[in-house]
Structure 1
Amino acid sequence: MTNTTTRSASKLDQLEVLLMRKDGANIAEMVTATGWQAHSVRGVMAGALKKRGLTIISEKIDGVRRYRAGKSA
């Protein structure tokens, strides 16, 4: 018998998708997507997402800090 159920994306998966976009995401977008507080989002970027092999890039564009991610080599 084949298991046809699919797992919904975890909050970590959602953050990874946001960060992999061309323009990345700001903290407010990540807070809205996860329901977490801003300090929790920052902690996940510093810990769990780096453990997934992502390099987090922070840039300030027009006065707004945006974060992007790329795969580590």
Structure 2
Amino acid sequence: MTNSPKKRTTKKDQLIKLLGTKSGNDIKSLSAKLGWQQHTTRAAMSGLRKAGFEVVNEKPANGGISKYRIVSSPAMPQGTTAVVEAHGA
């Protein structure tokens, strides 16, 4: 009997999960949860966009805090599963 190694959860994986929620997250809370400075969080989101994720910035009409979320993920090769499901706007 062999034990399969557990996949390590990276900060990128954590960011994708946090941005994959319907309500999204603001920069301050994302940075706090990941232990990053805010400019690092923005740079990581830029990297996700370059990798094919559609990350949107939703600004509330009442002038509240902007929240970011992933609305679609890049096409995955056949046989793999998507990390994030697209949420309708």
What's the TM-score bracket when you normalise by the shorter of the two chains? 0.7 to 0.9
Q: Distance in 1 between matches of 2:34 and 2:6?
A: 20
Shift of the alpha carbon at 1:72?
5.0
CA distance 1:12–1:72, shift in 2 (3 Å): closer
**Percent identical:** 39
Higher helix share: 1
Tell me what 1:10 maps to. Answer: 10
* Aligned-partner SS, 1:68: strand
Shift of the alpha carbon at 1:28?
1.5
* Aligned-partner SS, 1:32: helix
| TM-score normalised by length of structure 2 | 0.69
Higher relative contact order (CA 8 A, sep 6+): 1
Tell me what 2:51 maps to. Answer: 52
Detail structure 1 runs of 4+ shifted over 6 Å in the superposition.
none
| TM-score normalised by length of structure 1 | 0.82
Higher strand share: 1
Between structure 1 and structure 2, the one with the greater Rg is 2
CA distance 1:50–1:3, shift in 2 (3 Å): farther
Tell me what 1:68 maps to. Answer: 69
Q: Distance in 2 between matches of 1:60 and 1:50?
A: 18
Shift of the alpha carbon at 1:60?
1.6
Gaps (5+ residues) in structure 2? 75-89
